Amino acid sequence: PACGEPLEPVGTAEDKPPQHTSIYAITKKTQEEMALCFGAAYRIPTVSLRFFNVYGSRQALSNPYTGVAAIFMGRLRSGKPPLIFEDGAQSRDFIHVSDVAEAVVRSVELEADEVTGTFNVCTGRPITIRQVAETLAERLGVEVPPRVVGRYRVGDIRHCIGDPSQARLRLGFEARTPLDEGLDELIRWSDAVEVLDRVEDSFDELERQGLVQ
């Protein structure tokens, strides 16, 4: 598009050149390269799976550094509004843990020499952070609107959506769980989980470290 025109985020393919914005991203990429390098050196077929934003049961609801769906769930269960950085329109690729498990099973069931390489485990569908908070509240049946703080965390990226085409073509994998069904599963599991909300403490720590602008 011409300069000044709105841009639409597109899915990130596996061969996109790295543009690291965090230590977390660097360590993930390094682990991937180590595994692929080892496999190539010793002629061991190696598959690297890139999980996008995984959510679902057994995710820690009291850990303020876990996935955003679990964090929002913990806040709503405590009767507190989910805290949203920026304006809430930033998007991610949310994939349910059951779909991730299927992708892992498919990758290990492949014939030894059938496939190697890196594959996105994603849906290819952008979901905004505000949409997750509002959908969770709706599915829980509570009227607790999110609080948009209008600030951003250093290292965060605006949009992160995966391109699922290679996993579909070479692994025969395609995510099947819609967001509302996946969130319902998370809600059912969370009914028996005690929540200790630590979100404000983590926000204060980010501010002390200068990581919130």
24, 42, 55, 152: the active-site residue? 24
Residue 24 among the catalytic residues:
yes
Q: Is 19 helix (H, G, I), strand (E, B) or coil?
A: coil
| DSSP letter for each residue of 107-169 | HHHS-TTT--EEEEES-S--EEHHHHHHHHHHHHT-----EE----BTT--SEE-B--HHIII
Per DSSP, what are the bridge partners of residue 55?
Answer: 96
93, 104, 77: which is closest to 127 by C-alpha?
93
The residue length of the chain stands at 213
**Residues taking part in catalysis:** 24
